[in-house]
Every structure is written in C-alpha cells, then in structure tokens.
Structure 1
Amino acid sequence: MLKLAKLLRHRGFHITFVNTEFNHMRFLKSLGPYSLDGLPDFRFETIPEGLPESDENATQEVTLLCESFRSFLLLAPFRELVKLNEWGSGVEIHNNVKRDEVEIIVRELMEGEKGKKLKKKTKERKKLAENATDPHGSSSINLDNIAHQVLLRKN
C-alpha cells in the first residue's frame, strides 16, 4: 500500500491513511513515536473501533473484538470480506460450525479437489496481477491515465 501511495503522491495526489485507533497506536509503537515525521506528504487519520486504549492486549480478547466489530466496524462488510465466495476463492462456513466440520473443510482445501481448483485460480490471478503491475502493464498505464486526468482538472 505504501508503494502505491508513493506512486500516487509522486503524480500529485494527496494521500491519507486511515487506521483504527488501536492499529495506529501499534504502528507508532513498532516504528517509534517520531516515525511519521519523515512523511510530511502523507496524512494519517484514525477512526474509533471500540477497543479500550489502556489495554495493549485488547485484540486477544475475542468477546471484546466481536463486540467491537458489531458496534463500531459494521459486521456486514466484514462478513462479505471473510466470505470471499464472489470470486470463488473461499469457502462458506455457517454461523454454528462445529470443530469437526472445520477440520473437514480445511482438509478439503489442503488436499482435495476444491483446494486444487482454488490454488489454480490463485496462480492465475497472481500471473494477471504481475502482468498488470508490470511497468508497462494495464495498472501502471491506468494509474498514469488517472493521474493525468485528475491533474488536468486541477489546472
């Protein structure tokens, strides 16, 4: 993401990173309190996620995390993200799943036919992504086109 942000910034865009408060604090803690000082062209904003600021291990509390997702981060988009069925690159697990059912699903993904198909699709997507992000690939060309169009509108 930072690479893309730098490319966009180089083309004249203003960049803002949005993190949850908890992740932002972890980010600062891992890199040091002055780590963002060298990035004046980037803005870093935070949004609340409902986790207590005082508890460094808040993400280890499963009940607290679940309540946070439900209350602050909207459960529906999270479910869609986890589901991943639209691209055919995930498996659906029902709400009341049992341990042995998870084992069967994981085994099918690791050793079964469905897993082989997912692996093949993933390799195909990887190749498409590599081609698209090549310096002369469609993503690079599209990024240049977008930057050019946006900068033309500014002037």
Structure 2
Amino acid sequence: MSGHGTRGTAGAVLAVVAVAVTGCSGNSGSPSGSVSKAASAASSAASSLASRGADALASASAEARRKLDEAKGGVNAKDEVTLGSVAIGGDGRATAKVTAKNTAGSAKSFAVQVNFSDKSGNLLDVVVVTVKDVAAGASGEGTARSNRKLNGEVHAVVGTAVRY
C-alpha cells in the first residue's frame, strides 16, 4: 500500500462518511447515534490505513538499509547506475530496469536502492536490487520491482548505489 494510495483510500472512506452524515441530517435535525458511530469507525479505518501505509514504507526502507549494509567494503557507485522508465505491470507493481557499469579493474557487484515516488516527489516505495558479478569494464542489469501495487504517475530514482 503506498502513501499516495493510502491518502486516496482514506479520503474515499471519509467522503462516504460525509455523504452518510449529510444524507441523514434531515431526519430529526441531528445525526443519529449510528451515523456518529459510522463516522467514528470510518475515521479510525482511515487512520489505520494511513498508519499501515506508513508502516509498510518504513518496513521497506528498513529492509533496503539492511541489504545495503550487507555490501561490506563498498564504494559509492551512484554515478555508475542508470534507471530505465517505470512501467506498471498487470499486477499493479512498478518496475524499472537497473543498469550498473563497472568501472573497476575487476569483477564487482552492485547494491542499488531504487526509490519509487509520485509526480510530487512523495516517496511511495523503496527497493534494493543486487546486480552481481559484473565484469571489469562491462555493464550488468537487474530489475527494480515495487513491493506493492502503485498507481498514478510513478517515478524511479537511484537513492544509493554501492559497488563492492
């Protein structure tokens, strides 16, 4: 679940509650207890959705840090990595081609953190792609795939890249 999608879902839940409250206000001049309970439940559900979206992003970020930490003795290789265009697959997950050029004198592997964001730059998901055993002077490829469904206009940028 993405932060952007979570806000959209929470907004939809709250919009339904607003319609229910408005629709029931003409009965006796005040909303019924059941409408108030529904509004409260919907508000709690929206907060829960937002919380789960934030938790999922925090979990993905923690996993990315863990994977990057495994690249012991690595050097910054952000300038050696490029990303292709983002595509949304039939399963709703975003993908982007990752290309790592090895400028070292021996075979190296790369750990690349890819940040998926919306058109406003809000972080939606974080993944780490490992491109292993790239020969000296050669390029290796991998695919970054979001952990969950993303929708709308999704962009990908290299957050961190380590050659080890």
Structure 1 and Structure 2 fold alike (TM over 0.5) = no
Could you tell me the TM-score, scaled by structure 1's length?
0.24
Could you tell me the TM-score, scaled by structure 2's length?
0.23
Compare relative contact order (CA 8 Å, sep 6+) and give the higher one, 1 or 2: 2
For the pair shown, the structure with the greater C-alpha radius of gyration is 2
Higher strand share: 2
Higher helix share: 1
